[in-house]
Amino acid sequence: MSARKPYWSGSEIPGEITTPSQVSGSARNILVAALTETDGAALAEMAVLINVDLESGDIGAMYIPGETLVGEYAVRYGRLSGAFNWGTEKVPEGGAAALAECVSTAFMIPVDNYLAFDMDLLPELTERLGGVRATLEQDVTLDDGTILEKGDHIFGADEVRRFVMLQGEPDPAAQIILRSGFMEGLVRAALGMPSREAVSVAKGIKHGLDTDISLRDHWKLSKSVFGKSSSHIKYFLLPGICFPDYGSSRLAVWSVRRTEAAALINERLRAHTEHVLAEDMSVPEISA
């Protein structure tokens, strides 16, 4: 088991980005992030924003690649992944609060809580879940010539190490598709469990978890979050286009398609809050 990383620390999400009080009893948005340490920097490699409709019981989940371009005015190097380490203008100290603020500002959507975990725990978590069904939206070719065809694949710990944790790294666009497909399976598997089983799994990996969800809130949310069939979970990849060598840093970025993104966010994540307009999103959009 991995030791608790030095970048873990308590973090408080700014009140101004949380769900408005008049509808806070109807919905809750939780940001889930997978973190890794690279050259001394703690980066959010993957993120999923989960909307819990407390009235209908439906769940919307948007996968946000760490490569998502939010602009250098928002975070150092311009990618969402860096917000955790380098912070934002409003939350310069970094941490999960800065990541949540970056997501909220970029997509004009509330974020109420966070759950961050060490990416090194993914193989262990996958085993505890009995495997994860990854759904790929297109064929993925790895640099060793391995081809993962479009459709469903069962990932165990070995597949997670190789395909999700970059052993046999695909091109950046394929990597995003692959990770999104894996996270869809992980979300569906975790939220499909009865709450007691989910708590047992979480306890087994608690050394690599950080969250601001209190025990009291957990029990309030558990009836709305866990034991969900797939029909109640609407998962989607944030619409975008990958640019593999963008800007002076020559980093791969995921440029959001704002019109498509706004439509999906409004449909699946904003049942109880005002719809967002594409032009109000602060994320830059690179012309293809």
Give CA separation, 125 vs 12, 87, 146, 181, 286, in Å.
26, 28, 24, 16, 36
pLDDT exceeds cutoff 70 at 234: yes
Give CA separation, 124 vs 121, 127, 192, in Å.
5, 5, 18
Q: Is the pTM of this model over 0.85?
A: yes
Among residues 212, 18, 2, the alpha carbon closest in space to that of 96 is found at 212
pLDDT exceeds cutoff 60 at 168: no
Backbone angles phi, psi at 45, to 5 degrees: -70, -35
Average pLDDT over residues 149-157: 96
CATH number of 15-118+193-280: 3.40.630.190
Looking at residue 1, its pLDDT comes to: 29
Strands, E assignment, 66-200: 113-118, 132-136, 140-141, 147-148, 151-155
pLDDT exceeds cutoff 90 at 222: no
Residue 9 — pLDDT band, cuts 50, 70, 90? Answer: low
Residue 3 — pLDDT band, cuts 50, 70, 90? Answer: very low
- Distance of alpha carbon 72 from the chain centroid: 20
Among residues 260, 239, 228, the alpha carbon closest in space to that of 65 is found at 239
pLDDT exceeds cutoff 50 at 22: yes
- All structural domains of the chain with their residue ranges: 15-118+193-280
